[in-house]
Structures are given as structure tokens and as C-alpha cells.
Amino acid sequence: MRVVGQEVQVKHIRVYICKPPASTGKSVIVIHDIFGRHLPNTRYMADMLTTNGYIAICPDFFVGQEAWKPSNDWASFNDWVKTRDAGKTDKEVDVVLKYLKEQCGAKKIGVIGFCWGGAAVQHLMLKNPHLKTGVSLYGVISRFEDKHSLLHPTFFIFGEKDDIIPLEQVTLLEQKLKQNCKVDYEVKIYPGQTHGFVHRKREDINPQDKPYIEEGRKDMINWLNKYI
């Protein structure tokens, strides 16, 4: 099934939205990485969710601010990211939730996010009562290392060879969740995988990584299907 999304304006936010032919009442908010909502890889994942029966919506969580470009100087990254706080997405999420319920017939809504968006998912799973579940894909966890009382079932996906998220951070996260978390959660590390592996487009995938990428996507969909 080929799906085609469209750009719409929802209050102060531009969004990309993709709907299945028949509404299931299920929806997923897709939170982009530092490269913003126009990254083809992120839309590719939104479209994939729709082929699995979800209304997928990818809002501009930078709200008009410029996304990071690969050509930017990484020395300026810390200053850049300070003005785009993954822990301050609540206002936009509330607007999008209202739109999904009132305009799209969504009854059960979850959230997934990549990298910067993965950190935003962690924040929302600690705070937002209206979401059913979340999948955080290689979300930078150092920002939320003291907060582990999740409100909703959350699935954490990490790559073994991620040079941005050291494995000791992942181990610590698991320990803290075990001590403090009262809801269902899973932390899974995929062998040999680097940052960004699940949302690579087909043409960017190395043959040896393909089984793990497919497994990560299947695990993500299965988790969403279980809780939405």
C-alpha cells in the first residue's frame, strides 16, 4: 500500500500528516531528530506507520526555527541545541493531541521519536497523561538521567555502536528503571548498530545491518500495536 501524506497548518505548527484509507482511531505522533521534520527518513517512518493502520503526524517541533544541517559546524551544536529543548515540547503536543482527537477521530494516541525526538518521548512519558505509550529510538538519555517514573509503557531502542550514547548510560538507565518504574518498559540494544539505524531509508542501508533495522522496525510496530 502506497500512502501519500500532506502538509497542513495546525494552530502555530506546520505538520506532515498521513492517514490510512479507513480510520482505525489509532494515531502516532512522530517527533523528528535534529535534522527536522523535512528529513526524508522521518517521513518514510511516518508513511510506514500509516501502512500499519495509524494516522501518523509529524509536527515541526522547532516551530519555524531552523533545523540542524549536516554542513553546520559541530562546534556550534551545543549553543544551537540550547534553543531547542526536547523537554519543552508540551505546548505543541497539546495542540496536536487536540487536533488528532477533534479533527481526525483519533481515540488512542502514542508517540515515537528519533535522537532529539527520542529524548522528547522520554520527557512526555514522564509527564503527559493523554498518551498511551511511547517508543524512544536512540534518545539522548543523559538529559533525563534522574527521572525514571514513567507514566506509560515505553520501549527504548539503542544501537550497540552508537557513538553519541555510550552503553554505560544505557545500562544505568536499565538499572534506574528497574528500581523506579511501575509500568511496562523494555530496553533493547541492537548488535553492531550505529546512531540513527532504524530510520535509514532503503538506499542507505548496508546489507549486514538490514536484519537489525527490520527487527527494530518490527519491534517498534509490535510495541505500538500492543498498547494503542
**DSSP letter (8 states) at residue 43:** H
Query: Which residues are CB-contacts of 147 (< 8 A; sequence separation ≥ 6)?
Result: 122, 126
Beta sheet of 6-10, edge-to-edge order: 6-10, 13-18, 55-59, 26-31, 108-114, 134-137, 154-159, 185-190
Q: Tell me the C-alpha to C-alpha distance, in Å, between residue 151 and each of 59, 131, 134.
A: 23, 9, 10
In contact, 193 and 206? CB cutoff 8 Å: no
Active site residue 195: yes
Catalytic entry in 115, 123, 152, 209: 115
Q: How many CB atoms lie within 10 A of CB 6?
A: 9
Cell numbers for 209, please give them.
545491518
Strands 108-114 and 26-31: parallel
Catalytic entry in 47, 60, 162, 209: 162
Catalytic entry in 38, 148, 195, 219: 195
Active site residue 104: no
Active site residue 60: no
Distance of CA 204 to the CA centre of its chain: 20
The catalytic residues are 115, 162, 195
